[in-house]
Structures are given as C-alpha cells and as structure tokens.
Amino acid sequence: MKNPSLASSLIFLLLFVLFSCLGISLADSNNVFDTCPTATDRIEFINGYHCKSPTLVTTSDFNSAKLTEPVNTDDRINLVVKIVTAADFHGLNTLGLSVSRTDLVIDAIVSPHSHPRATEMFFLNQGIVLAGFIDTRNQLFQTILKAGDVIVFPKGLLHFCLNSGYEPTISFSVYNSQNPGVVNINGAVFDPADSSHFIEKFLKRLTVPSSQSNFKLNPNVTLSRYTSL
C-alpha cells in the first residue's frame, strides 16, 4: 500500500472490529450503561438481553418478589431450587448476577449438579444441611452448615446439599452470572427410574466431617443410615 497513513488506519479498523467482536462474545461482559433492564418485547438473540428504553425504566425493574414464597416442597429430589435470572428479574441484565431460593423438607436433597457459567455463594437461612462439592480431582469436600453459614461452590463443579436436620431448610444463593445454567447429571445421564439408585450410591460417599462429629443427625434422615455417629 502506497499511503502509510491509510494502511495504519486500516490496521486500526481491523483491530477495532476484532476486539469489539471479542468483547461481544465474552459472557457477562461489563455493562456500558448505568442500568439495562431486560426488554421483553425483542425476539432476536444476542449474548444477554436488549435494554429497555431508559425513559421506561422504573424502580420495579430493580426488585423482585419471586423468591418470597417457598419453592415447591412436594418433591424431595428435584424442583426444590428456583433460580431467578435476568429473564425474570429485569434489572439484573448486564450486571453479571442472579439469585435463587432453595427449600428442602427433612431428608430432601439437591442432587449433584453444576452451573457451567457461575460460581455460587450459598447462604443457609434456616435449618441444617450437609453441603459440598466435588473438584476436578474427584475429591469430595463436605461440611455441615447451620443457619447463618455460607459455602461457596466454585464455577462448574458438581455440588449438592441435603437436609439432615430437624426442620425444613431455607437458603438463598447468589451467582456471578446473569444466566448460570444448570447441568443435572441424574437428569441427563440416568433414566429417571435409575436416578434414585444413583442417589443412594452417592449418599454412601457422604460423611459428617470428624471436626463436626458432635453434630447429631436426625435419626430419621437417609444419611444417618450411612453415617455412624
């Protein structure tokens, strides 16, 4: 090219386009407006959601009552977690966060699952659970949580919790993605008929850590069949 300034402009343009595309393709990229509540009337797919017009944004975009009521507690294995993402809680769009509520009746379990796009911070509000996760070396980390305790489940790792106490549990989680996703191995890999068999096998791997052995499990919960205290 004869004109060096034209060549450098072209290179600049090329780099600009390249980096713009990279920015668009990264999940949960930084927000470029103060707020961007989800516009629900758009049908094109982008990485996230379109923003509502700033003139239409209201306080109600930034709060939600979707976690006020207990989640369906009839089911002891599935459907006990309700995740609220930017699809339902519009103010979360572009902020890289979502939130959930989990209600477990005595002996109910959130079976091992992972969130491919988010780390989960799990706060136990009421009751007692055995909770833990499995890392990429297949090492199991498990602990008993009491009301007020927190556990972090690192991004992408299988994790679980089990109500081993004496009352229903209530917990809330925060995820560092506006759409954490859920991969549930007993749903995807096993027949529903096999999944309780799988959970039985999994429960046999669980123990109460020796540092917490003063904790008395409810003798009626399944876990106590496998754990000698």
Ligand X SMILES: *[C@@H]1O[C@H](CO)[C@@H](O)[C@H](O)[C@H]1NC(C)=O
Binding footprint of ligand X on the chain (CB under 6 A): 166, 218, 220
Strands 109-114 and 120-126, sheet pairing: unpaired
In the complex with ligand X, which residue's Cβ is closer, 57 or 108? 108
Cα–Cα distance measured from residue 36 to residue 74, given in angstroms and rounded to the nearest whole number: 36
Q: Check the annotation: does 113 bind a ligand.
A: yes
β-pairing verdict for 120-126 and 169-175 = antiparallel
Does the annotation place 120 within a ligand binding site? yes
31 vs 218, beta carbon nearer ligand X: 218
**Least Cβ distance, residue 24 to ligand X (angstroms):** 54
Spatial contact of 145 and 129, defined as CB atoms under 8 Å apart: yes
- The residue sitting closest to ligand X, measured at its beta carbon, is 220
Q: Which residues contact 122 (CB under 8 A, 6 or more apart)?
A: 131, 145, 150, 151, 152, 153, 161, 171, 172, 173
CB of 221 vs ligand X, minimal distance in Å: 9
**Closest CB to ligand X among 58 and 220?**
220
CB of 150 to ligand X, least distance (A): 26
Give burial (CB, 10 Å; 0-12/13-18/19+) of 54. Answer: exposed
Is 115 labelled as part of a ligand binding site? Answer: yes
* Residues placed in the known binding site for Mn(2+): 113, 115, 120, 159
Binding site as annotated, residues: 113, 115, 120, 159
Query: Which residues are documented as binding site for oxalate?
Result: 115, 120
